[in-house]
A and B are shown apart, each in its own frame.
Chain A
């Protein structure tokens, strides 16, 4: 039969066991803890054939649901880039791309320019 000291030790051990179990539970994956890593997603499309898209002031804009628009401007060479890589958390995303150029329907080149309608959308599932 335990004495009061024995009872105290038993209580302390039980408390430690409870605390340890709670800690394990908290770390065991029931929520909380570290997130799954983001994945790189390579997006690509066919080049537009408008000369304005493929010169200074032209390029593409990629729209990804829930994400900031990604601008892919013309920089140099014969054509604007037709690909970009983004980092996305696991989930499902709707993606479209549109093309733009500096020339507008009023004949100017430094206003808002012209933009195309968006491409057909695709769904990207990031596991």
Chain B
């Protein structure tokens, strides 16, 4: 009994000492709890040095709390507070205790996943710091940098870094790039290509040449693939939305950038039947509603595949002037517009309040490329290297025509193009040889006004043996019964078969004895070449670049939530995005894609039932 009394007296004395000290010091005020994650049910309390460990324990216990750990920092204690009080109430109580120097939540810090890729600082779409984006390569076409809002405002990006804290590996979800092919051995893509087994050793299929090598002869598909899944955190190049990915290359568009319904439908069906769950189609155009393409998209929907497509780059309202596949209405389809670095709608971007769904960064986007481009451009002002031949008089000659009000050097037939007509019963030829040694792809670009009556012909040919390509060379194009003047029509021809030290390219105007017309005016003559490389990158613009960002996000969502259906992923992207002023009234959602908010999005439950028992 006496021992117990002595204990009680001792405790009381201790408490009395503590109480005396408490009375001597005034309470301090602290900042209120701000936003941020913290451990629920815990606080960190820093007691003033004069208070012993026993004092601290008594004070904490008097509040119904418990010491969890001494943090080896003088006076700092980790306290378990239990339930029944809010964090604000707990902190306020400690903050008003004169023995306390400060009290705070036990905040949670996370590693902010920033990849170490050497070009990451240029990827404003992933992290907009207000950086100025420059050309990745000095290669034509020049001036591909979109100068408006470059630099833009920090924070205008996809919010991807927070998402990377939770997932970077999307390789469980096969993504098909239905495009110009993919440079599947590009240094930043090689590790992230789909494994198609022995049947598809090159990671996909080529429906242009109908073989199993979907190598990219343009660069566009490679660029798209890199945005989706360039290897992340590998100390080189860029990163994709997914640091690890499984990219299926499906070539449906040729070296000139053109593809057909037949090729695209085959490509979609190939992707679906070989396990792709997300398809990227950065393409558009066609002649109107394409029923066959629509059926392929519906088939993909039946197989639970998300398809993401580009809105188009004509700066028009797709609601007024439909473009496909964007304007299709299947629920597995997402159509994407392009934003610039200030999150304004890019001037070239199509839009549509009922047809375009979301926006994503689409200007100055750096990504992988298929090689090095070069342009051989003939000035059409000199006969140097040109050979002219005619069976009558006149024939081909250099002159000028007005293009858009500007006098433009041109190759003309007849020489009196502006005021005369070509001869009857004539065979006029003009050709020149070019050294294309060392390149892998050559695309001949010609712009011309063509007026030949039915039965007269304007032809283009090439010969890899040099000399006169008429006859014997490869026919590239043939026109009869056309009248385009005053319009100038642009055409591109894949002349990779002409690659040699002396590739001869030529024009022929051949007429019968009947009527004639104005003739032909060639206003642009260029050869765009591509030399393959596994280490090339490029910075380009387009809704084509915005689309794969949404594709990568769809893959990320389906990898994070393996049970997700296409509808779940579409909802998470369209409903989980970020409200963006420039997209209000221009898209169905008024939102830009946002990776973290989509990752956190939860679909409303369905199928609620009740049974009264």
Identify the A interface with B (CB < 8 A): 39-46, 48-53, 60, 85, 95-101, 103-111, 114-122, 124-127
Contacts and interface: CB of A to CB of B under 8 A. Distances in A.
A45 B561 contact: no
A122 B597 CA distance: 29
A117 B604 contact: yes
Contacts of B110: 107-108
B600 A43 contact: no
Contacts of A110: 37-40, 108
B604 A116 contact: yes
A115 B602 contact: yes
B612 A39 contact: yes
Interface in B554-613: 560-565, 568, 576, 596-597, 599-613
B163 A107 contact: yes
Given A97-B608, A110-B40, A50 B596 contact: no
B604 A119 contact: yes
A110 B105 CA distance: 12
B166 interface: yes
A53 to B, nearest CB: 6
Pairs of residues from A and B, 5 with the lowest C-beta to C-beta distance, nearest first = A108-B37, A107-B162, A46-B607, A116-B602, A49-B563
B600 A99 contact: no
A46 B166 CA distance: 26
A98 B605 contact: yes
B108 A108 contact: yes
B608 A50 contact: no
Contacts of B36: 108, 111
Given A41-B610, A41-B613, A51-B561, A107 B596 contact: yes
B608 A95 contact: yes
A109 B162 CA distance: 12
Contact of A49 (B37, B568, B597): B568
Nearest to A117: B604
A116 to B, nearest CB: 4
B605 A107 contact: no
A32 B109 CA distance: 61
Contacts of B35: 106, 111
B163 A60 contact: no
B209 to A, nearest CB: 40
A117 B575 CA distance: 11
B606 A118 contact: no
A95 B612 CA distance: 13
A99 B572 CA distance: 14
A45 B163 contact: no
B600 A105 contact: yes
Contacts of A53: 602
B165 interface: yes
10 contacts: A42-B610, A44-B611, A50-B568, A51-B562, A85-B613, A97-B605, A99-B605, A103-B600, A109-B37, A111-B37
A49 B565 contact: yes
A84 to B, nearest CB: 11
Contacts of B108: 108-110
B556 to A, nearest CB: 12
A12 B423 CA distance: 141
A24 to B, nearest CB: 34
Given A41-B612, A41-B613, A107-B596, A50 B605 contact: no
Contacts of A104: 600
B577 to A, nearest CB: 11
Contacts of B611: 41-42, 44
Contacts of B565: 49
A114 B564 CA distance: 17
A41 B602 CA distance: 26
A119 B602 CA distance: 11
B600 A114 contact: yes
A51 to B, nearest CB: 5
Contact of B608 (A43, A103, A105): A43
Contacts of B162: 106-107
A23 B610 CA distance: 41
Contacts of A108: 36-37, 108, 110
A126 B560 CA distance: 41
Nearest to B113: A107
B611 to A, nearest CB: 4
Contacts of B576: 105
Contacts of A52: 600, 602
A117 to B, nearest CB: 5
Nearest to B165: A107
A51 B560 contact: yes
A117 B605 CA distance: 8
A127 B613 CA distance: 10
A52 B564 CA distance: 12
B479 to A, nearest CB: 56
